[in-house]
């Protein structure tokens, strides 16, 4: 199970479906609505899937606000079954690459406001103290970040955060949480944050020439 910019990617391997469903349910319960709005891609890697298992999977995901978007990598018979349930059996490469969904917003998030989006977010404005910006993918803030920003919220540690002035209460990337040092360092400059190992690294955001 892996978080992506838009939701989850499941690789059930050869485990029995009821085991897979149980593990998935536990994961979704523990996440308390975190994945709401996300899309799920299942990679069968050659194994088959029975209509009952497919329906059970879909029902479980929908109960947690997720969409079963695509079931990939089955043989021709499996692909027919998948399509018969109205689910994609194939995804164009570029769509899988970019995830497709992105949000562009021109506003300031004020205290008590929360923006949640299952994809990349570009915000032209500030994230004020007490505001929360949560994205499944990357986050770019053309402004000041003083509240909370969470990128890769579905668990994608490859997600990044960029801001002109990154001075947040807290930064999160996937399951990692970072807090800025108590003392503000130096002058304001554009910065970016990414995960390395189990830590969030913040560094100057420079355009290479």
In the complex, the smallest distance separating the C-beta of residue 121 from another protein, rounded to whole angstroms, is 18
Q: Which is nearer to another protein, 102 or 169 (CB)?
A: 169
Burial class (CB in 10 A: 0-12, 13-18, 19+), 82: buried
In the complex, the smallest distance separating the C-beta of residue 63 from another protein, rounded to whole angstroms, is 30
Q: Which is nearer to another protein, 108 or 170 (CB)?
A: 108
Q: Which is nearer to another protein, 48 or 112 (CB)?
A: 112
SS3 (DSSP) at 76: helix
Binding residues for another protein, rule: CB under 8 A, are: 108-113, 126, 128-130, 146
In the complex, the smallest distance separating the C-beta of residue 112 from another protein, rounded to whole angstroms, is 4
Residue 208 CA to residue 203 CA, distance in Å, equals 14
Q: Which is nearer to another protein, 15 or 106 (CB)?
A: 106
Tokens of 131: 């505001």
SS3 (DSSP) at 168: coil
Angle of helix 76-84 versus helix 51-63 axis, rounded to 10:
50
């Amino acid at each position: 199970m892996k978080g992506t910019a838009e939701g989850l990617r499941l690789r059930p391997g050869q485990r029995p479906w009821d085991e897979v469903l149980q593990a998935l349910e536990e994961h979704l319960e523990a996440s308390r609505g975190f994945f709401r709005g996300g899309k799920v891609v299942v990679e069968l890697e050659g194994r088959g899937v029975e209509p009952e298992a497919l329906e059970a999977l879909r029902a479980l995901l929908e109960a947690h606000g997720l969409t079963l978007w695509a079931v990939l990598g089955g043989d021709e018979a499996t692909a027919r079954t998948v399509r018969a349930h109205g689910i994609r059996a194939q995804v164009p490469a570029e769509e899988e690459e970019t995830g497709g969904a992105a949000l562009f917003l021109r506003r300031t998030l004020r205290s008590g406001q929360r923006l949640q989006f299952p994809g990349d977010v570009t915000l032209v404005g500030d994230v004020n103290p007490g505001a929360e910006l949560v994205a499944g993918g990357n986050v770019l803030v053309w402004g000041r970040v003083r509240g909370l920003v969470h990128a890769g919220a579905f668990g994608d540690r490859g997600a990044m955060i960029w801001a002109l002035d990154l001075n947040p209460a807290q930064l999160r990337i996937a399951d990692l949480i970072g807090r800025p040092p108590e003392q503000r360092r130096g002058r304001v400059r554009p910065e970016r944050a990414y995960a390395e190992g189990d830590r969030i690294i913040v560094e100057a955001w420079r355009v290479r020439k």
